Amino acid sequence: MIQRTEKGFSLIEVIVGLAIISIIIVAMSMTITTIVTNSQGTTERSVVLRQVQNAGYSISHDVQMAENVTPDGTGGFPLTLDIPVDTDQNNDYSVDYLFDGDKIIRQVYDSSHTLIKETVVAEYIDVDETTFTALDSNAYELTVRASTGEAVAERSYQVKQRPGPV
């Protein structure tokens, strides 16, 4: 009688083990791919929404403070706002909002119209879909649309100038 003293796995056991490991690896790779893809889409949506909110907040805030609002050109941009600081006009400043490619730029000028500050307010802006229109003498509607990749965000803001001193 021959006794086997060899220890190990049979060919069938090895094949079954490899099949199980392959199934687990395929499932894990599909899950990781889905997570990465969804994460990038969520990130893009967050980015464009934040850009729209930045533009809406900045422009709305300045319009509320402005004494004169002058929308110009197609869609109301460039937009010029004259902002008083006090009763002395020498302290007043003006703010221009304009497009630079797909960005909204905020330029601040002193009373002698010298540029003192320039800031990028928002990026990824759809210039043709972003508008500033007058509703009446001191009420305006700002519509901002931004997009990148598959993500799109659009918001409309209605803003009124604050009444001046009586």
Q: What is the mean pLDDT of each run of 10 residues along the chain (166 residues)?
A: 71 92 93 78 90 97 93 90 85 93 96 94 96 92 94 95 69
Q: What pLDDT sits at residue 25?
A: 94
What residues does each domain of the chain span? 38-160
Query: Are the C-beta atoms of 59 and 78 separated by less than 8 Å?
Result: no
**pTM of the predicted model, to two decimals?**
0.76
Q: What pLDDT sits at residue 166?
A: 42
Q: What are the b/e assignments for 54-88, b being 16+ CB within 10 Å?
A: bbbebbbebbeebeebebeeebbbebbbbbbeeee
